[in-house]
Amino acid sequence: MKVYGIKNCDTVKKALKFLDEKSVDYEFIDFKKTPPTKTLIKKWAKELGDLPVNKRGTTFRKFKEDYESGSKEEKINLLVENSSAIKRPIVESSEVMMGFDKELWSSKF
C-alpha cells in the first residue's frame, strides 16, 4: 500500500498513526520530497471520478480562479506545481482513497 501526502499535515499524521496502530504495512510518499506526476494525478482522477483537489485549503485559494477557468490539463499542471492543494492523504491499495475517514478506514484495514 502507498500513502501519499505531506508529513506535517494534521490529517496525514492522523492517518499514519491509525495505520501504525493497526500494524498496516505502507510506504509513505511525501509530496514535498517526491512531487506527484501528471500521470499519477490523472490515474487518481480516473479512480476517484474527479481531480483530487482540496478546494477548502489555503493553497487552493491562491490559484482558485486560474484552476476553475483552466482546462483539465491546466488544472493538472497546477496540482503538480502546487501539491499542497491535493486532498490528503491519497491511499493506493486495492482501490484509491482520498482523505482520512476513521470509520471507513476501520472497515478497510
Q: For cell 491519497, what's the residue? A: 90
The CATH number linked to 66 is 3.40.30.10
Catalytic hit among 6, 9, 53, 79: 9
Give the model's pLDDT for residue 47: 92
pTM for this model (two decimals): 0.88
Write out the residue range of the structural domain in which residue 21 sits.
Answer: 2-108
Residue by residue, pLDDT tens for the chain (109 residues) are 999 999 999 999 999 999 999 999 999 999 999 999 999 999 999 999 999 999 998 999 999 999 999 999 999 999 999 999 999 999 998 888 888 988 888 888 8
CA angle 30, 80, 96 (to 5 degrees): 60
Residue 109, pLDDT score: 84
Q: What is the pLDDT of residue 42?
A: 96
Q: 89 an active-site residue?
A: no
Q: What is the DSSP string of 1-55?
A: -EEEE-TT-HHHHHHHHHHHHTT---EEEETTTSPPPHHHHHHHHHHHSS--B-T
- In this prediction, residue 101 carries a pLDDT of 87
SS3 98: strand
How many domains does the structure of the chain reveal? Answer: 1
